[in-house]
């Protein structure tokens, strides 16, 4: 660990946790923009995954006690670094951001005030600027909070958690097996924390993800877009939906609410593996970021992909649910209901 002075006796309200690998320029920009905020209520945790560039050199030049830098002697993978960054935070809350993000300093004071006065908040996420038309809201613990935040597979920047609740569910060790969580451990964390306390969805956000030309220039160090194992591929999205559903089976929920949550998991899975995948493959910047070529996917292909997802999903759930036909019918009916509700909300807002 490298830091400029001993930790203070009083823990900060918020730890901003940044895993990084080989992106010295962007992580330096991000950290400097956070340190420019004149508050002692925060700390910055940087978990450096054995970057071969000058990441440590540029960060060690920043003389600020709020900055704490941890570095591995060898690259231990993206999952390890994500979990380590969050687990090292000493704040009452920890918030995750990637090393490519831009910090929106003018939102910090209001966000800290919310955390300070909303004592029941266990977890939540900051909406990204593209979602800023949605209102800030607090969702009560249990089914409502799970539906709002769990298993959504969003861009993880802006995910935040109450530290004592993380420890209570066995974080990070419980979520450290790649074969169980892949690159989405925080979705499982959300599901469990939503049963412990309320969830906060913060409208204004704290971060702007990297966009446009800079995305093209920063190649992904964790994802090969040409591989069927890429996290956004239809195969991977199906696999994660099954894992989410099996994790849900182990949680303490009424059967009725569990089925409603699973229907949301199914709907989200089928959406991101078809419409979402089509959007990614048509985006030149993202394709360049993931080292793959642009591909035009037709509407007919999307429909075929949705049908294939549905068949494979319920084939896999056959071993867990009986009778599977009734289960599939109920899930699909609830999924349609969720879809209609989301469309109605979009129209209203």
pLDDT in tens, 64-82: 999 999 998 898 899 999 9
For residues 101 and 231, membership in a common domain is answered with no
226 pLDDT band, cuts 50/70/90, is: low
Same structural domain for residues 133 and 278?
Answer: no
pLDDT of residue 218: 65
Residue 263: inside a domain: yes
CATH number at residue 29: 3.90.550.10
pLDDT for the residue 27: 94
Domain boundary among 150, 183, 210: 210
Question: pLDDT at position 248, please?
Answer: 94
Residue-number span of the structural domain to which 314 is assigned: 225-348
Q: What pLDDT does 298 receive?
A: 92
User: Do 181 and 234 share a domain, yes or no?
Assistant: no
Residue 2 has pLDDT above 70, yes or no: no
Statement to judge: residues 188 and 247 lie in one domain = no
Pick the closest to residue 101 from 129, 139, 135, 68 (CA basis). 129
Shared domain check, 42 and 174? yes
* 7 domain-assigned: yes
Q: What pLDDT shows up at residue 220?
A: 63
Instruction: Mark whether 119 and 255 lie in a shared domain.
Output: no
| pLDDT digit string, tens, across residues 110-158 | 999 999 988 889 999 998 877 767 788 899 999 999 999 999 888 899 9
Q: Given pLDDT bands bounded at 50, 70 and 90, which one contains residue 6? A: very low
The tally of domains found in the chain comes to 2
pLDDT value at 102 more than 50: yes
The pTM assigned to this predicted structure is 0.87
pLDDT at 212: 57
Residues 322 and 205 in one domain: no
Domain membership flag for residue 217:
no
- pLDDT at residue 215, rounded to an integer: 58
């Amino acid at each position: 660990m490298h830091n400029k002075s001993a930790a203070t006796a009083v823990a900060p309200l918020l730890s901003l946790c940044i895993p990084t690998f080989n992106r010295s320029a962007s992580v330096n920009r991000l950290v400097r923009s956070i340190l420019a905020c004149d508050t002692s209520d925060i700390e910055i945790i940087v978990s450096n995954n054995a970057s071969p560039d000058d990441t440590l050199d540029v960060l060690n030049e920043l003389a600020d006690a709020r900055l704490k830098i941890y570095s591995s002697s060898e690259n231990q993978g993206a999952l390890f670094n994500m979990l380590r960054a969050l687990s090292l935070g000493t704040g009452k809350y920890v918030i995750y951001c990637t090393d490519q993000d831009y910090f929106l300093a003018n939102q910090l004071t209001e966000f800290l005030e919310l955390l300070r006065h909303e004592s029941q908040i266990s977890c939540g996420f900051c909406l990204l600027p593209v979602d800023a038309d949605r209102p800030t809201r607090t969702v009560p613990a249990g089914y409502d909070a799970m539906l709002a935040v769990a298993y959504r597979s969003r861009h993880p920047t802006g995910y935040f958690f109450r530290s004592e609740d993380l420890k209570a569910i066995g974080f990070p060790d419980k979520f450290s097996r790649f074969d169980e969580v892949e690159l989405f451990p925080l979705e499982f964390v959300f599901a469990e924390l939503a049963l412990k306390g309320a969830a906060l969805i913060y409208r204004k956000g704290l971060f702007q993800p990297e966009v446009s030309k800079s995305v093209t220039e920063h190649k992904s160090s964790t994802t090969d877009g040409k591989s069927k194992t890429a996290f956004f591929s239809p195969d991977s999205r199906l696999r994660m939906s099954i894992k989410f559903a099996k994790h849900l089976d182990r949680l303490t929920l009424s059967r009725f609410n569990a089925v409603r949550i699973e229907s949301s998991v199914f709907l989200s899975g089928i959406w991101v593996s078809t419409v979402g995948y089509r959007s990614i493959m048509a985006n030149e910047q993202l394709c360049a970021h993931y080292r793959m070529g642009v591909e035009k996917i037709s509407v007919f292909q999307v429909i075929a992909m949705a049908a294939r997802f549905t068949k494979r999903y319920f084939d896999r759930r056959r071993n867990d649910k009986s009778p599977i036909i009734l289960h599939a019918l109920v899930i699909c009916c609830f999924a349609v209901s969720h879809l209609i509700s989301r469309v109605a909300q979009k129209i209203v807002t």
